[in-house]
Amino acid sequence: NAGVTQTPKFQVLKTGQSMTLQCAQDMNHNSMYWYRQDPGMGLRLIYYSASEGTTDKGEVPNGYNVSRLNKREFSLRLESAAPSQTSVYFCASIRAGTGGISSGYTFGSGTRLTVV
Amino acid sequence: ELKVEQNPLFLSMQEGKNYTIYCNYSTTSDRLYWYRQDPGKSLESLFVLLSNGAVKQEGRLMASLDTKARLSTLHITAAVHDLSATYFCAVGNNNDMRFGAGTRLTVKP
């Protein structure tokens, strides 16, 4: 099925461990995003990639790095996990131009991360 | 900085009743989205509003946008249990989309 695929769905890390969250889309979208969702705070943008080969910081980038591996894949890395990074992480993508604006973002199913 | 405020944050309503969720934002924007999220699930796009006075309807949900007041509303008509979910508005452009905190709606029989 077409869409945004995230792995893993669940992860428990110990403080200081590292991990990479994977995201892939098969809709030929140009722009991809990583959000975190915390209770009562909506979604906050961590990093985004407006097009292949570019990445930029969002609202809450500290403690994270990203890689836009190719047009399909956009990964999020936690180098040294902290309990404050316990959250649900969503990857999203959107087509460039007016077509993308009118159809909106497509979100992945989320990764539930707990850091103990 | 763009700020987005939704209210109420929690809404419990009886089946058959009408209610409105409000989304206020602080700076001009070229688009506004409404999303639905079921517990433990991802976000599903409901409406995209692109111009002042835009109104979109899908079933028992109707969304409107007033860009001059920087206000969008999501109106629920004759609520049914299946509408129980969390509803988010999101405002901005592609690379700076800010989400409201969400309205958790519970529809009781």
pLDDT tens digits, A28-54: 999 999 999 998 888 999 999 999 999
| Contact: A31, B43; criterion CB under 8 Å | no
The predicted structure's pLDDT at residue A103: 74
Interface mutation target, options A43, A46, A107, chain B, most CBs of B under 10 Å: A43
Tokens at residue A108, please? Answer: 């992945």
Tokens at residue A66, please? Answer: 């990203």
Cα–Cα distance for residue pair A80/A63, rounded to 1 Å: 7
The predicted structure's pLDDT at residue B28: 86
**In chain A, what are the helix, strand and coil shares in percent, each to the nearest 5?**
10, 50, 40
Residue written as token pair 């460039």: A96
What 8-state DSSP symbol labels residue B101? -
How far away is chain B from the Cα of A112, in angstroms, using its nearest Cα?
A: 9
What residues in B contact A33, CB-CB < 8 Å?
97
Cα–Cα distance for residue pair A16/B98, rounded to 1 Å: 30
